[in-house]
Chain A
Amino acid sequence: MRIGTDRDRCIGAGMCVLTAPEVFDQDAEDGRVLLLDAEPPDGLQGAARRASFLCPSGAISTTSPDRPAPRPPHRG
């Protein structure tokens, strides 16, 4: 799964930080979303998807490959 964020749409409500604090943070200055992990591990993907759903401004997208692609052994 890959996560995308749109900081122009973000309103800094903080729902993502409440929902998936390992994946999202807020900028201390303007409150807007900071992406901590664009390709979260399996254990955090559910929370990341919920954060995307809960985001009031639609600033978080998640994309999954149509069929499970072989995962690279290491991610940068």
Chain B
Amino acid sequence: MQHRTPEHAAERPTEPGPGRSEPVPFPRDRPKGCPFDPPTELAHIRAERPLVRLAYPDGPPGWLATGHAVVRAVLADPRFSGRYELLRLPFPGMPAEGLPPAPIGDLTGIDPPEHTRLRKPLAGKFTVRRMRLLTERVEQITAECLDAMAEHGPPVDLLTMYAQPIPTMMICELLGAPYADHAFFRRHTETLISQSAPGAEQEAALAAIHEYLGELVLAKRANPTDDLLSDLTDTDLTDAELAGVGGFLLGAGLDTTASMLALGTFALLRDPDQLAALRTGDGDGIDRAVEELMRYLAIAETGARAALEDVELDGQLIKAGETVVLSLLAANRDPERFPDPDTLDLRRNATGHLGFGHGVHQCLGQQLARVEMRVAFPALFARFPTLRLAVPPEEVPLRSAANIYGVRGLPVTWDGV
């Protein structure tokens, strides 16, 4: 087995690699014409040393972790905090002294024990078994989207007609929004995750959703139904926390899955051999394919943690308070963990990838995302066997400046019947 333990990282030599004594700026630009590949400089940095000093636009340096073992070790280590207010991000326009603290219900930006208190009641709602029971419902929603695409006729934007509605409908039903509210809910969430809506419109949509969730929590307390929010009214979470958690689940579950479906389709359309592998894959095949797409695309490409105390890692001393920026994308492409890492290979065993993260913050909704992907990818290509891009690949608009990597639209077409 190729598994490397976190301890492995500490066995490296103490001297910095040649030419890396100066902090490096965070590499952002992907190679031109290669929308799925990490910035070339990330691979260079990782090859020299998996943990290096990172330069910031202003203020003192931090750290950049690019190797799979080091990134994984930081994510698993309770001496590192995910609290937003302790994190400094090396991006232009980010505050030099830490981000605003996590809003109520945002599980990503808080640490145990507060994180544990909020996550524990949710974990039972997202188990492997519970999510697999939703398979049939995902299939129905997927079929409805495919029908709508067929009715519309080619070309369509796959992002807005397929990739976004599937997770939106699922989270809507999971939270327990009444059917009559689905249109309202969908309209506002679509504005929220839209790549083109003006900022003011997005803020208004966010406010409308928060107001709606607040009212929904009160309604569920008064008349519990069979859904996640109603179940959670039995816990010690406050109304504000419940509404906050609802908003967090929306934020975490929509854009991410939508991005995976759209960007994944783009990647498959660019790689006929892999598309063929997906078509011929059986149950186990599609499971492997989903893990490999998670590894290869690594849409949540960058994370960060702050050291709560001095930590020695990779033979170097990270001082208390310093931020370690984690390139999950570089880690997923680490040749020491995955042979031939820059090749999309749906038949490989990609488990151990960090596409859903690692440690106590590993994606809460990952089992739902897996069910959505294992249904939606094959169903799309089964319904439209001649599916292809409707524009040259270099004209597919990418969202490179966002938290979650992806496309801003995916024009596709197919042969009519």
Contacts and interface: CB of A to CB of B under 8 A. Distances in A.
Contacts of A57: 76, 359-360, 362
Interface residues of B, number: 27
B358 interface: yes
Given A11-B119, A54-B352, A57-B359, A31 B76 contact: no
Contacts of B76: 56-58
B351 A31 contact: no
A interface, by DSSP: helix, strand, loop or mixed? loop
Given A11-B362, A56-B359, A30 B351 contact: no
A14 B3 CA distance: 20
B interface, by DSSP: helix, strand, loop or mixed? helix
Interface string B309-342: 0000000000000000000000000000000000
Nearest to B3: A53
Contacts of B360: 11, 56-57
Contacts of B362: 11, 13, 15, 56-57
Interface string B117-132: 0011111111111100
16 contacts: A11-B119, A11-B123, A12-B120, A13-B123, A13-B362, A13-B364, A14-B126, A17-B129, A18-B128, A26-B128, A26-B129, A30-B123, A31-B124, A31-B126, A32-B123, A53-B3
Interface of A: 11-15, 17-19, 26-32, 50, 53-54, 56-58
Pick the 10 closest A-B CB pairs, nearest first.
A12-B123, A31-B123, A56-B362, A31-B124, A14-B128, A26-B127, A17-B128, A30-B124, A31-B127, A13-B362
